[in-house]
Amino acid sequence: MGTVALCGTKDKSVWRGTLRQGAGAMDLGRVRLIVSDVDGTLTVSRRSFRLSCRALSAIEKLEECGVRVGLASGNSLPVLAGLARYLGASGPIIAENGCLAMARPGGVIELCRSSAREAVEVIGRRLGLEPSWQNKFRVFDHALVVVGKPREYVKELTRRANKLLKELGYRNLYAFSSGYAIHIHPVEADKGVALRRVVEHMGLDRSVVAAIGDSVLDLPLLREAGVAVAVGDADEELRKVAKLVVRSEAGEGFAEFAEMVLRARGCGQRGD
């Protein structure tokens, strides 16, 4: 989407999303936790870092309605913890693509054992890529910046990174691209592993947990949730796994799903 939805703008059109077979029995009124990807799910588009005003408003309404909102991303824990505080999102935080989690209340849970700190420096020099500024705040997953580079070139760089990791003996690490960066990531954990841990910590049944995302990197996250949701412009692989595919894209899609949950829980929409 090329335009930014203004805060308070409301879409009155009829929902035209997609429900997978058997998903019609979902009781969205039971949802107590929504864990959301950030880039491409809470932003105005998959090409922007700007947060969607409608998504921000939706988070506020969900929290007021008793539905906690958590964040899951490849970003570092300090970035996500700060973002969650200013969004008013009280749910768990999953950082570094699942290597770190923060169950709130509760401390930081380390789900990976291997750090990519040394490997990312070596791979970055070999491939001529700059390290992410967030690396100094990362513990396990580290990243190399590829923003603005052609998609096919990034695929080739990722392939070369994985080849170098094997040649250099980093058997417990692998490389993948988020579209914004090439991540060098430990094999021990992903967003799904982290979600399972924090849900257990919170004492919730997975049936009351929803997860929403936009890319193949969110596949493990959605597979662990009782309600798996993809935004309208999500990768096809994610759309196939999702029980619900909303009509709207990116942050507008998050807001659309939030409104479905709010209606199911009987929470009035401000201004209706």
Does residue 231 contact residue 254 with C-beta atoms inside 8 Å? yes
Question: Omega before 131 cis (within 30°)?
Answer: no
Beta-sheet pairing, 108-110 with 100-102: antiparallel
Does residue 179 contact residue 148 with C-beta atoms inside 8 Å? no
Of 27, 37, 205, 235, the catalytic one is: 37
DSSP of 153-212: HHHHHHHHHHHHHHHTT-TTEEEEE-SSEEEEEETT--HHHHHHHHHHHHT--GGGEEEE
Q: How far from the centroid of its chain's Cα atoms is residue 25's Cα?
A: 25
Half-sphere exposure for 143 (CA within 13 Å, toward CB): 23
Active site residue 37: yes
Q: For residues 76 and 74, what is the distance between their CA atoms, to the nearest angstrom?
A: 7
Q: Which residues are catalytic?
A: 37
